[in-house]
Amino acid sequence: MKIMVVGSGGREHALIWKIKQSSVVAKIYCVPGNAGTAELAENVEIKADDINGLLKFAKEQKINLTVVGPEVPLAAGIVDLFNKNDLRIFGPSAAAARIEGSKVFAKQFMAKYGIPTAQSGIFADKKKAKAYINMMGAPIVVKADGLAAGKGVVVCQTVEAANQAVELIMEKKEFGQAGAQVVIEECLIGEESSIIALTDGETIVPLASSQDHKRIFDNDEGPNTGGMGAYSPAPVVTDGLMEQINNEVLLPFVQGMKQEGIVYKGVIYAGIMVTKAGPKVLEFNARFGDPETQPIMMRLKSDLVPILEAVIDGKLAGQKIIWDERAAVCVVLAAGGYPGKYETGLPITGLDKVHQVAKAYVFHAGTKIEDRTEKTEHRLQISTNGGRVLGVTALGDSLKFAIDKAYQAVSLINFKGMHYRKDIGGKALKLVR
């Protein structure tokens, strides 16, 4: 098989790492890819949101299966376009991807189908939004309606901060048209977990549980990011809680989509807050999480390719997914200044030493290969090329062991301004002691 993976982040590197292990795969392309994917696949310089360019390439190369990583091409309708051209592609349609592309749609969908979530209001007028904030009080959460690379959610501890967030999103257009409307909702208190599931529109199968760390600094402080680290499994998700999430969130989601006339095929990611009142949905995403995919793929023992094909063919019910019982932890190394402005093109050192740590692997995100030829010396250098640069991931016999190994591997890597959270997995350790 010839497979094309669309995207350039750590998620895509992890998917390719797993796909590469399949006996049915002969060739993998990553579009556009990064320095890490280049070691396992052939990178192709086409932007992930250039869906017509991707279609042309898929036709020319006779691609057997396309796997879409990021949300932007999904929202732009890449799946619909490929289906019209009789090309096999893994991911939801544009109509289905609205569950992530519009937080307003997601909130209305959850209310309609009885999926537990935070109390909220939807506003296209900033004065009305601020009036609602003043009435509700703080802490409170302000969300831009559209796609904002995981940064369109502002958790506000004061009414003043919430009003400033409304100004930032609706008046200053920090996230462009994504902020034409805002969702303002109560701040849920509890333990967060990521439930990522596969569905063919009828059957829905949860993958291994995980937990992301959204805030930039230790102890969940600072602004939200695309994710600073993750671990799997998440001890907060007990068997009983998973059954409850399945019955109250996942199954109603699939049935609701059918009621809307949408056959949802692909990944559905439910960000769950485990509150005293039970699990409540923070958000839905229409694709694999990043960085959750990194530890999840490390734990997946089954061949991924037949599972993806079963989703496309509506045959997921017949698939058995086998997991490694060990824990996996991913620590994201970020560029100085991220999630704000940051410098790129900085040389990364120590990547060649990570093999010294057993069962540790570095998934690249914001990296590129640069030619640093000087006079007679020809040298290729891996450099930074994004805000989240690397996802250092390790597998361990226990969560504590996996955490220790991940940070041992982190200690071998360096680039100017590199920063990372020191407490990835810390919450889980309190639950497994």
Please list the alpha-helical segments (H only) found in 219-281.
Answer: 239-245, 251-259
For the chain, how many helices (H) and strands (E)? 14, 22
Q: 424 falls in which pLDDT band (50, 70, 90)? A: very high
Domain count, the chain: 4
Helix, strand, coil tally for the chain in percent (to 5): 35, 30, 35
Specify the CATH number for the domain of residue 140: 3.30.1490.20
Identify whether the C-beta of residue 270 lies closer than 8 Å to the C-beta of residue 85.
no
Whether residues 304 and 345 fall in one domain:
no
Q: What's the CA gap between 357 and 118, in Å, rounded?
A: 42
Phi, psi of 96 (to 5 degrees): -70, -35
- Please write the tens of the pLDDT for every residue from 117-138: 999 999 999 999 999 999 999 9
> Which residues, in sequence order, are CB contacts of 322 under 8 Å at separation 6+?
300, 301, 302
Whether 433 has a pLDDT exceeding 60, the answer reads no
Work out the angle at residue 306's Cα, subtended by the Cα atoms of residues 301 and 310, and round it to the nearest 5 degrees. 125
Give the span between the Cα atoms of 159 and 140, in whole angstroms. 8
Q: What is the CATH number of the domain that holds 296?
A: 3.30.470.20
Do 149 and 259 fall within a single domain? no
Q: Are strands 153-156 and 140-144 parallel, antiparallel or unpaired?
A: antiparallel
In a domain, 111, yes or no: no
pLDDT of 152 reads: 86
Domain limit, last residue, from 267, 300, 318: 318
- The model's pLDDT over 152-182, given as tens digits with 9 standing for 90+, comes to 889 999 999 999 999 999 999 989 988 999 9
Is residue 149 scored above 80 in pLDDT?
no
pLDDT tens-place string over residues 252-276: 999 999 999 999 999 999 999 999 9
Asked which of 134, 160, 180 is the last residue of a domain, the reply is: 180
d(CA 115, CA 107): 9
Q: Is residue 350 part of a domain?
A: yes
In this structure, is residue 120 part of a structural domain? no
In 3D space, the residue among 149, 147, 7 whose CA is nearest the CA of residue 67 turns out to be 7
Q: Is residue 108 part of a domain?
A: no
Please provide residue 323's backbone torsions phi and psi, each rounded to the nearest 5 degrees.
-115, 145
CATH for 16:
3.40.50.20
Judgement on whether residues 281 and 300 belong to the same structural domain of the protein: yes
Asked whether residue 106 is assigned to any structural domain, the reply reads: no
Q: What percentage of residues in the chain have a pLDDT greater than 90?
A: 91
Q: What is the DSSP letter of 220?
A: G
State both tokens at 62: 């006779």
- How confident is the model over 324-336, as a mean pLDDT? 98
> Within a domain: residue 50?
yes
Domain boundary among the residues 261, 293, 318 is at 318
Assign 332 to helix, strand or coil: strand
361's enclosing H/E stretch is strand 360-364
Residues 309 and 339 grouped into a single domain: no
**Domain identity same for 309 and 197:** yes
The model's pLDDT over 273-327, given as tens digits with 9 standing for 90+, comes to: 999 999 999 999 999 999 999 999 999 999 999 999 999 999 999 899 999 999 9
Q: What is the mean pLDDT of residues 22-27?
A: 96
- The reported pLDDT for the residue numbered 375 is 62
Same domain as 258, residue 176? no
Average per-residue pLDDT for the chain: 95
**For residue range 233-255, what is the model confidence (pLDDT) as tens digits?**
999 999 999 999 999 999 999 99
- 209 and 172 share one domain: no
Computed on alpha carbons and rounded to an integer, the radius of gyration of the chain in Å comes to: 21
Same domain (yes/no): 205, 276: yes
Do 295 and 336 share a domain, yes or no? no
Does residue 400 lie in a domain region?
yes
Does any domain span residue 103? no
Do 203 and 303 belong together in one domain?
Answer: yes
Read off the pLDDT of residues 365-420 as tens digits, 9 standing for 90 and up: 999 999 876 665 667 899 999 999 999 999 999 999 999 999 999 999 999 999 99
* Contact by Cβ (8 Å): 365, 9: yes
* Residues 295 and 407 reside in one and the same domain: no
The model's pTM is 0.94
Q: Is the domain of 28 the same as that of 88? A: yes
Q: Per residue in 81-93, pLDDT tens?
A: 999 999 999 999 9
Domain containing 164: what range? 125-180
* Alpha-carbon dihedral 425, 429, 430, 433, rounded to 10 degrees: 170
CATH number of the domain bearing residue 341:
3.90.600.10
CA angle 282/332/71 to nearest 5° reads: 50
Distance, CA of 119 to chain centre: 24
DSSP E strands in 115-225: the ranges are: 120-123, 140-144, 153-156, 182-186, 191-199, 204-206, 211-212, 215-217, 221-224
